[in-house]
Amino acid sequence: MSDKIYELILRNCRLLLPNYQLQIVDIAIDDGRITAISTDIPASGKQEIDIGEKLVTPPFVESHIHLDCALTAGKPRWNQSGTLFEGIKIWAEYKQRLTLEDVKKRAIETLKTQAQQGVLFVRTHVDVSEPTLTALQALLEVKETVKNWINLQIVAFPQDGIYSQDENLTLLETALQLGVDGVGGIPHYEFTREDGVKSIHYIFDLAEKYDCFIDIHCDEIDDEQSRFLEVVAACAIRTGLTSQVTASHTTAFGSYNNAYAFKLMSLLEKSKINFVANPLINITLQGRTDTYPKRRGVTRVKELWQHGLNVSFGHDCVQDPWYNLGTGNMLDVAYMAVHICQMTGIPEINACYQMITRNGAKTLDVEDRYGIKVGKPGNLIVLDAKNPFHAIRKRATVKYVFSEGKLLAETIPTKVKFVGFT
């Protein structure tokens, strides 16, 4: 035994390595940072926890959620058609009565639900096509309130479009002045294709002016003619903003003909932009105007991954006008993706795990603070599983969540006793 005493040692961790190998190690943490990783740390710790060879990985990353809308499902009414458009209408009714307290309460409750399930990095979109910008002000306060235990990024998102109402253009810029992290848009919802293209150029101008990233709701529709993704990719190349740019949803990509999709793929490879797919919500939202065969309405996740593009997953909604369900659990998202994207091979399932962890960190550009390595902040989760496949298959309980080296949440996995018949 050496005389060094660590603050905290996690013994017998089944650590997931970047090459998907698993290694049993001890992990020491001091002052919020990882200070040693070794097969057997000879020193002792002021506190020691036996992890019992459970799976240890970096925390989950929620790449795309709308916290301002979370936990409002059914208010003022339920979405009967299940479409994006009815959801936008219901939200338009709800948002007329927004208060700071209401948004803050729902956002913090959702963040807690996420954090206790291992999510420590979150990118939220906030509707800024509402004249009082109440939701934005609330989320800016929430970001400050939660900053010691969860990393929150805010995207100014003009839900109703930038050119649909005169004041929306100014509201978007005001939002950027108030200090958001990123700027978004919704080109497929603008009145015309021309407005959609113009909105993308405007978003890029704003991103350059306010030095922020871009995350656009792009082509979230089954219309195979919705081709704003190519505009986003071209702008990303021409401005050099490349990996500072994210295209969210891109569900129309699932409807493009292959000749066009192949051409598009090489443009996307050049652009190096990130993609966020939201399989839970888009499998329910899309395909609503189809009879049969019915489209899946999810972007080409497997092909983007095979072409080396960065894809991560989002929950998008937790009980809001677009989706009544939602748990905040990223394993639910990966589980749904494995099915819809037909990524059932083991390397593909591993890739889906990566899309709720490391790829999300790349999308959010937090890689410098992410990963289990000596010197990095002590952000890690312990799952009641042996490997990522097992974690996704069982949607395993996240037993411990460590944020900045401190235990943030502990869940006791349930035990079932099968009594049977005699």
Using DSSP's 3-state secondary structure scheme, residue 324 falls into coil
Q: Contact with ligand 17E (CB under 6 A): which of 28, 155, 180, 186?
A: 186
User: From the CB of 220, what's the least distance to ligand 17E, in Å?
Assistant: 5
Work out whether the CA dihedral 252, 255, 256, 259 comes out positive or negative: positive
The strand pair at 182-183 and 245-249 is best described as unpaired
Shortest separation between residue 219's beta carbon and Fe ion, angstroms: 12
Tokens linked to 232: 């986003």
Q: Of 44-52, 92-100, 316-324, 394-402, which segment contacts ligand 17E by CB under 6 A?
A: 316-324
Nearer to ligand 17E, 35 or 159 (CB): 159
Contact with ligand 17E (CB under 6 A) among 15, 67, 241, 317 = 317
Q: Kindly tell me which residue out of 66, 123, 315, 362 binds ligand 17E, with binding defined by CB under 6 A.
A: 66
Please list, residue by residue across 102-119, b when 16 or more beta carbons sit within 10 angstroms of its beta carbon and e when fewer do: bbbebbbebbbbbbbbbb
Using the rule CB under 6 A, is 220 a contact of ligand 17E?
A: yes
Site for Fe ion in 346-405 (CB under 5 A): none
List the one residue out of 316, 313, 380 whose CA is nearest residue 343: 313
Q: Where are the alpha helices (DSSP H) in 251-325?
A: 258-271, 279-285, 301-306
| Ranges within 266-305 binding ligand 17E (CB under 6 A) | 281
User: Binding residue for ligand 17E (CB under 6 A) from 316, 343, 357, 371?
Assistant: 316
Residue 420: CB atoms within 10 A of its CB come to: 5
Q: 317 contacts which partner out of Fe ion, ligand 17E, none, CB within 5 to 8 A by kind?
A: ligand 17E
Q: Assess whether the previous peptide bond of 347 is cis (omega < 30° from 0).
A: no
Q: Which residues are catalytic?
A: 220
Q: Which of residues 143-182 bind ligand 17E (CB under 6 A)?
A: 159
260-285: b or e for each residue (b if 16 or more CB lie within 10 Å)? ebeebbeebeebbbbbbbbbbbbbbb
Name the minimum Å distance from CB 89 to Fe ion: 16
Cβ 357 to Fe ion shortest distance, Å: 20
**Residue 62 contacts which entry, Fe ion, ligand 17E, none (Cβ below 5-8 A, type-dependent):** none
Shortest CA distance to 256 belongs to which of 221, 302, 305, 292? Answer: 221
Nearest residue (CB) to ligand 17E, 120 versus 277: 277
Query: Which of the choices Fe ion, ligand 17E, none does residue 220 contact, using the CB cut-off of 5 to 8 A by kind?
Result: ligand 17E
Helix (H, G, I), strand (E, B) or coil at 15: strand
CB of 127 to ligand 17E, least distance (A): 8
User: How many binding residues for Fe ion (CB under 5 A)?
Assistant: 1
Nearest residue to ligand 17E by CB is 322
Q: Is the dihedral of CA 252, 256, 258, 264 positive or negative?
A: negative
- Could you say which residues in the range 308-337 bind Fe ion, by CB under 5 A? 316
The site for ligand 17E (CB under 6 A) is made up of 66, 84, 159, 186, 217, 220, 281, 316-317, 322
